[in-house]
């Protein structure tokens, strides 16, 4: 018979691995849950923000909208940037149904009835910020109804492959 110098095997040995594994899983779950609570941002359209504005004051929000070029005001000295965005539907299916993102953005900035939102941001004006661009802003809505953005993201323009290019002379 072999002398028993080997460490415990069988179910007892397996247990410590199961427990160890569960501990890691628990740690990961804890990390995910706590970080989600700390970092969750509500993704709203301009219309939705308008409807819920009182409820979401003070919360971290992420808003998407179509930039109205004329409204862009930028002071390069103080890096104060303000502009207005128009409501753009958030649902991709709705966007597709209305003719694609480029079409939707075009309509949003030209529709006088569209809900608009004023945005204030302090920082370098992004290169992509221009008329009909889609802006995604993270920040908070103030009591004054103005959106104070901490972060400003503009959608990469490879999206805007023109459906119909300019005419050529014959």
Partner 1 sequence: MIANIGYGILFITLLVSIYGVGAAYYGARKNDPRWIESARLSMLLTFPLITLSSLSLIYLLVTGRFEHQFVQSVTSSSMPIYLRVTALWGGQSGSLVFWSWLLAAFASSVTLRKWDRDREFLPWVIVVSLVTLAFFLILVVFFENPFTRFWQLPGGDIRAAMFQPQGSSLFLPRDGTGLNPLLRHPGMIIHPPMLYLGFVSFVVPFAFGIAALVTGRTDDRWIRITRRWSLVAWLFLSLGLLLGGRWAYDVLGWGGYWGWDPVEIAAFMPWLTGTAFLHSVMIQEKRGMLKRWNMVLIILTYSLVIFGTFLTRSGVLSSVHAFAQSAIGPLFFAYIGLTFTISLALLLSRWDELKAEGEMTSLLSREALFLLNNLLFMGILVVCFWGVIFPLISELVTGQKVTVGPPFYERATAPLFAGLLLLMGIAPLAAWRHSTFKTLGRTVWKPSLISLIVPVYAFIRGIHQPAALLGFWLAAFVAFVTLHEFWRGARARAKRSGENLFTALWRLAGRNRRRYGGYIIHLGVVLMAIGIIGIEIFQVETQGTLAQGEQITLENYTLTYNSLAVFDTDDGRNVARAVIGVEKSGDYVGDLHPRRDYYLDSQQPMTIPGVRSTWEEDLYVLLVDWQPVSTNSATFKVYKNPLVNWLWFGGLVFIFGTLVAAWPDRDPEPVPVRKKKSSYAAAEA
Binding residues for partner 1, total number by CB under 8 A: 61
Q: Is 128 exposed, middle or buried (0-12, 13-18, 19+ CB in 10 A)?
A: middle
CA dihedral sign of residues 89, 90, 95, 97: negative
Residue closer to partner 1 (CB basis): 7 or 112: 7
Residue closer to partner 1 (CB basis): 113 or 162: 162
Q: Whole-angstrom Cα distance, residue 115 to residue 53?
A: 13
Pick the binder of partner 1 from 13, 103, 110, 145 (CB under 8 A).
13
Stretch that binds partner 1, among 65-73, 108-116, 140-148, 155-163 (CB under 8 A): 155-163
Region 95-114 residues binding partner 1, contact defined as CB under 8 A? 95-96, 100-101
Could you tell me if residue 153 is left (phi over 0), alpha (psi between -120 and 50 degrees) or otherwise beta?
A: beta
Our finding on whether 55 is near partner 1 (CB under 8 A) is no
Q: Whole-angstrom Cα distance, residue 127 to residue 72?
A: 13
Q: Whole-angstrom Cα distance, residue 123 to residue 69?
A: 18
- Site residues, partner 1 (CB under 8 A): 6-9, 13, 16-17, 20-21, 24-25, 27-28, 31-32, 34-36, 38-44, 62, 64, 74, 76-77, 79, 90, 92, 95-96, 100-101, 124-125, 127-128, 130, 136, 138, 151, 153-159, 161-169
């Amino acid at each position: 018979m072999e002398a028993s110098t080997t460490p415990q095997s069988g179910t007892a040995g397996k247990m410590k691995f199961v427990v160890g594994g569960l501990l890691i899983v628990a740690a990961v779950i804890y990390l995910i849950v706590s970080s989600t609570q700390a970092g969750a941002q509500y993704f709203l359209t301009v219309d939705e923000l308008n409807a819920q504005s009182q409820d979401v004051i003070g919360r971290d929000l992420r808003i998407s909208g179509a930039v109205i070029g004329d409204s862009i005001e930028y002071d390069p000295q103080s890096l104060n940037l303000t502009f207005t965005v128009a409501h753009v539907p958030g649902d991709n299916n709705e966007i597709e149904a209305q003719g694609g993102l480029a079409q939707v953005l075009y309509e949003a900035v030209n529709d006088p009835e569209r809900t608009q939102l004023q945005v204030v941001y302090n920082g370098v004006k992004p290169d992509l910020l221009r008329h009909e661009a889609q802006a995604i802003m993270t920040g908070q809505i103030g009591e004054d109804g103005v959106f104070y953005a901490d972060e400003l993201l503009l959608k990469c323009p490879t999206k805007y492959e023109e459906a119909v290019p300019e005419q050529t002379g014959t």
